[in-house]
Amino acid sequence: MSTETRQPLLEARDITVRFGGLTAVDRVSAVFMPGELVGIIGPNGAGKTTFFNAISGVTKPTSGRLELRGRGLAGQAPHRFAAQGLARTFQTPRTFGDMAVRDNIAFGLKFAGKRRREYLFWGDEVGVPWVLRTPESILGLIGLSAQAELPAAAITPSQQRLLEIGMALATRPRLLLLDEVAAGLTENEVEEMARLIRRLRDELDLTVVWIEHAVSTLLRHVERVIVLHQGRKIADDVPRAVIRNPEVIEAYLGDEMSETDTEATA
């Protein structure tokens, strides 16, 4: 096993975010290893998105340390996080509605910039999977090839979420943060999204951290679950253990999951 594989890709230590007198995230620590698929759940107002904003550079933590690939980045601008291989989506998809779907992906590729060339004449980009090198290949990966020439505003809400994932992938990340990408989708679309997320992790060797309110679906697909409640981390374990954690049941799962859901996940 390589040294890189044994080292955390992202390590958050005692991350705290305060807005005036409100502590939205209270000394949350978490470690994300290469290739992991991790879910983050919790009630509304638990601090999930604020924690995401803190570990992606959108919000400057009040205190705490953040290391991405061994480099301290807490408080730096989002583009510094992107340069170190972190990409994310948002609860409301951020796409360019007037631009064609293909051009949205092309923008992501342009944002990623040029990588070191391995061969002078062929121009292969070192370390970049073939499927992430062109807008067409990325659209094929996420299932939007047929919509390539449509304006982004003309595609369905579920397709816009896929497009935002494609734009994030175009930046060639090692770590992908997904913020409620299943929100507003039908039950079948949620399951399809979950399968896509797992396939992207597997095929692209990504680390994926996924916030979601579709708890039962998330628990069926992730390998580890972090539970936040009132800004604190109250659990960090495999799904089987989390759904039996009394504190988690009292704070969240008792209201969010039926007995059938729990049995299916166990």
Q: Are residues 167 and 128 in the same domain?
A: yes
Q: One-letter amino acid identity for 172?
A: R
Q: What is the pLDDT of residue 118?
A: 44
User: Using N-to-C axis directions, what is the helix angle for 101-112 and 135-142, rounded to 10°?
Assistant: 120
Asked if 194 and 242 sit in the same domain, the reply is yes
Whole-prediction pTM value?
A: 0.86
**What is the SS3 assignment for 213?**
coil
Residues 33 and 150 placed together within one structural domain of the fold? no
**Which domain does 244 fall in, by range?**
1-85+174-266
- Predicted pLDDT at 223: 95
Say whether both 201 and 146 belong to one domain: no
The answer to whether 81 and 56 have CB atoms below 8 angstroms apart is yes
20 and 103 fall within a common domain? no
**In the prediction, which pLDDT does 18 show?**
96
At 206-224, the pLDDT tens digits run 999 999 888 888 999 999 9
State whether the Cα torsion 47-252-243-182 is positive or negative.
Answer: negative
Domain final residue, candidates 117, 141, 172: 172
Among the candidates 157, 172, 187, a domain finishes at 172
What is the pLDDT at residue 126? 56
Phi then psi dihedrals of residue 114, to 5 deg: -90, 140
Q: What is the DSSP string of 71-103?
A: EE-TT--HHHHHHTTEEE--SS----TTSBHHH
Number of domains the chain is built from: 2
- Are residues 181 and 167 both part of a single domain? no
One domain, residues 76 and 178: yes
The C-alpha atoms of residue 214 and residue 192 are separated, in whole angstroms, by 13
CATH assignment of the domain containing 70: 3.40.50.300
Instruction: Answer with the one of 172, 192, 214 that is the final residue of a domain.
Output: 172
Do 160 and 195 fall within a single domain? no
Q: Do 166 and 230 have their domain in common? A: no
* Length reported for the chain: 266
Residues 77 and 126 both lie in one domain? no
pLDDT at residue 112, rounded to an integer: 66
- List average pLDDT for each run of 10 residues in the chain, which is 266 residues long: 65 96 96 96 92 93 92 84 89 88 91 49 58 92 96 94 94 93 89 94 94 88 95 96 92 58 46
pLDDT on residue 82: 86
88 vs 210: CA distance, rounded Å = 10
d(CA 164, CA 176): 12
pLDDT for residue 256: 55
Q: Say if residue 185 is in the same domain as residue 264.
A: yes
Residue 39 C-alpha from the chain's centroid? 9
Instruction: For residue 83, give the H/E element and its range.
Output: helix 78-83
Same domain, 168 and 178: no
Q: What is the pLDDT of residues 135-168, one digit of tens each?
A: 999 999 999 999 999 999 999 989 999 999 999 9
